[in-house]
């Protein structure tokens, strides 16, 4: 973010949060949608915005009414069978990680050097940040470092990180190099209107569950297996903050992500009187910011 009057950007050395837009929008639009959150978080965090790798054949809900001139529109995953999308899971994750790496490197190039600590996403981007945090959890538990992806070794696309934010990684699928995003030690995720299920970004040789969706698909292959549910291997245990609009048509699926995929001991919920959009008013934004600051301090992401 630019500083006024040519002054040094005061956020350059702050802890950083990687922000993922919803399906059918883009990073430019999401920056505008996050303006109230960004303003409130500016004393504590630097926000960087990633652009999804896949062109969206259709804009997201209500996008055209406000942002019709702000295309092209992008998506992280497909939600319709006719979407042009990689049919191979490894190819899909390689593209996803490549887009996230590009955002990380672009922010580094601006002179930012704070550690990457958190993820924030809205709608499809929220599903993605939950999935990225789950990948970090699985790879840490398996000894694969801060993260990893599907493929050979620890994950589909993994490797060294940026600066002090990296805790290691694994081999990339097909030996295509290392992913920065997969090696970062993510501390928490802010999930705004994110729906179930979590998407698997981990090599099946490291972790596999029928309760996770494939990145090349648009849902689960079969109804949940009760035995697999009871095993609880699909539960995200790293800290999450869920933000639900009580007038959002997708609220049941947002609640399912919270209730069925996240550990109640580490998940927090903020509800507000809104539809499928980001909160803008201070009365709606402040509770989200308060929860983020609490979690950041508890996890050591923020030392104030």
Residues marked as catalytic: 123, 248, 276
Helices (H), 70-151: 89-109, 124-141
Half-sphere exposure of residue 43: CA atoms within 13 angstroms, side-chain side: 5
- Which residues contact residue 205 at a Cβ distance below 8 angstroms, ignoring those fewer than 6 apart? none
Residue count of the chain: 304
H or E stretch including 16? strand 16-20
Vertex 229, ends 226 and 234: CA angle to 5°? 150
Give the number of other CB atoms < 10 A from CB of residue 218: 15
Tokens of 11: 């956020």
Nearest-angstrom CA–CA distance, 196 and 46 = 28
Q: What is the rounded CA–CA span in Å between residue 45 and residue 301?
A: 10
* Separation of alpha carbons 216 and 134, rounded Å: 17
Dihedral class, residue 150 (left if φ above 0, else alpha if ψ from -120 to 50, else beta):
beta
Would you put residue 299 in left (φ > 0), alpha (ψ -120 to 50) or beta? alpha
CA 164 to chain centre: 20
Confirm if 116 and 184 have CB atoms less than 8 A apart. yes
- The CB density around residue 143, as the number of other CB atoms within 10 Å, is 10
Cβ 107 vs Cβ 48: under 8 Å: yes
How far is the C-alpha of 162 from the C-alpha of 183, rounded, in Å? 9
């Amino acid at each position: 973010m630019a500083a006024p009057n040519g002054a040094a950007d005061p956020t350059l050395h702050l802890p950083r949060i990687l922000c993922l837009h919803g399906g059918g929008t883009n990073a430019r639009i999401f920056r505008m949608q996050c303006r109230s959150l960004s303003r409130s978080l500016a004393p504590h965090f630097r926000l960087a915005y990633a652009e999804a790798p896949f062109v969206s054949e259709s804009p997201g809900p209500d996008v055209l009414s406000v942002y019709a001139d702000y295309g092209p529109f992008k998506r992280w995953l497909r939600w319709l069978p006719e979407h042009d999308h990689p049919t191979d899971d490894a190819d899909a994750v390689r593209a996803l990680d490549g887009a996230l790496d590009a955002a990380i490197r672009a922010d580094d190039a601006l002179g930012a050097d704070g550690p990457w600590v958190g993820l924030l996403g809205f709608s499809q981007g929220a599903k993605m940040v939950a999935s990225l945090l789950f990948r970090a959890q699985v790879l840490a538990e398996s000894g694969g470092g801060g993260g990893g992806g599907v493929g050979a070794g620890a994950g589909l696309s993994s490797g060294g990180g940026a600066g002090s934010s990296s805790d290691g990684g694994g081999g990339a699928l097909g030996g295509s190099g290392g992913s920065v995003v997969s090696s970062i030690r993510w501390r928490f995720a802010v999930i705004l209107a994110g729906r179930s299920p979590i998407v698997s970004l981990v090599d099946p040789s490291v972790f596999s569950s029928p309760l996770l969706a494939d990145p090349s698909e648009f849902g689960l292959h079969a109804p949940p297996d009760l035995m697999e549910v009871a095993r609880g291997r699909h539960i995200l245990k790293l800290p999450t903050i869920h933000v639900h609009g009580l007038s959002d048509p997708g609220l049941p699926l947002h609640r399912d992500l919270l209730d069925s995929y996240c550990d109640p001991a580490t998940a927090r919920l903020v509800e507000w009187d809104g539809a499928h959009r980001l909160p803008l008013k201070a009365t709606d934004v402040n509770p989200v910011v308060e929860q983020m600051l609490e979690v950041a301090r508890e996890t050591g992401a923020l030392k104030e």
